[in-house]
Amino acid sequence: MKVALVHDYLREYGGAERVLEALHEIFPDAPVYTAYYNSESLGENRKRFAGWDIKPSWFQKFPFANKLLSPFRLFGPVMFESFDLSEYDLVISSSSATHLAKSVITKPGTLHISYIHTPPRFLYGYVTSFNYKKHWWTRLGGELINHIMRIYDFEVSQRPDILIANSKNVQNRIKKFYRRDCVVIYPPVDIPAFRLPATDYRIKAVDRRQKTEDYYLVLSRLVRGKGVEVVVEVYGKLGLPLKIAGTGPELENLKKLATTYNLQSTTFLGWVSDEERMKLLANAKALIVASEDEDFGITSIEAQAVGIPVIAPASGGFLETVVNNKTGLLYGGPGQVTVEALTEALQKFDPLKFNPQDCQKNAEKFSKERFKKEILELVNKNLK
Is 73 in the same domain as 44? yes
pLDDT beyond 70 at 126: no
Domain extent at residue 313: 191-364
Share of the chain above pLDDT 70, in %: 85
Is 25 in the same domain as 99? yes
pLDDT beyond 90 at 105: yes
pLDDT given for residue 369 in this prediction: 95
Dihedral of alpha carbons 233, 234, 236, 241, sign: negative
Q: How many domains does the chain have?
A: 2
- Interval 138-170: pLDDT, tens: 555 566 777 778 888 899 899 999 999 999 999
Other CB atoms within a 10 A radius of the CB of residue 367 amount to 18
Is 286 in the same domain as 374? no
Is 275 in the same domain as 341? yes
Q: Alpha helix locations (H) across 185-336?
A: 191-195, 228-238, 251-260, 274-283, 298-306, 318-321
Is 235 in the same domain as 378? no
- Mean pLDDT (whole number) for 257-280: 85
C-alpha distances out from residue 261 to 39, 231, 235, Å = 39, 12, 9
| In contact, 259 and 253? CB cutoff 8 Å | no
Other CB atoms within a 10 A radius of the CB of residue 221 amount to 17
Q: What is the DSSP string of 64-95?
A: THHHHTTGGGGGHHHHHHTS--TT-SEEEEEE
Q: Which amino acid is at 269?
A: L
Residue 150, judged by CB atoms within 10 A of its CB (0-12, 13-18, 19+), counts as: middle
Q: What is the CATH number of the domain that holds 342?
A: 3.40.50.2000
User: Rounded distance, CA 184 to CA 118, Å?
Assistant: 12
pLDDT beyond 70 at 63: yes
User: Max Cα separation, the chain?
Assistant: 63
Q: What is the CATH number of the domain that holds 374?
A: 3.40.50
Is 54 in the same domain as 118? yes
pLDDT given for residue 350 in this prediction: 92
- 3-state SS class at 14: coil
Residue 356, judged by CB atoms within 10 A of its CB (0-12, 13-18, 19+), counts as: buried
Is 169 in the same domain as 25? yes
Is 294 in the same domain as 373? no
- Mean pLDDT (whole number) for 47-58: 91
Strand partners, 219: 245
Q: What is the DSSP string of 97-162?
A: SSS-GGG----TTSEEEEEES-S-GGGTT---S--TTSSHHHHHHHHHHHHHHHHHHHHHTTSSSE
pLDDT given for residue 57 in this prediction: 86
Is 205 in the same domain as 327? yes
Among 59-73, 168-182, 191-205, 250-264, the range with the most confident prediction by mean pLDDT is 168-182
Is 171 in the same domain as 200? no
- Interval 20-37: pLDDT, tens: 999 999 999 999 999 888
| In contact, 220 and 194? CB cutoff 8 Å | no
Is 151 in the same domain as 253? no
User: Rounded distance, CA 142 to CA 383, Å?
Assistant: 40
Among 20-34, 62-76, 203-217, the range with the most confident prediction by mean pLDDT is 20-34
Is 220 in the same domain as 327? yes
User: Rounded distance, CA 201 to CA 284, Å?
Assistant: 12
pLDDT given for residue 271 in this prediction: 87
In 3D space, the residue among 320, 301, 311, 314 whose CA is nearest the CA of residue 349 turns out to be: 311
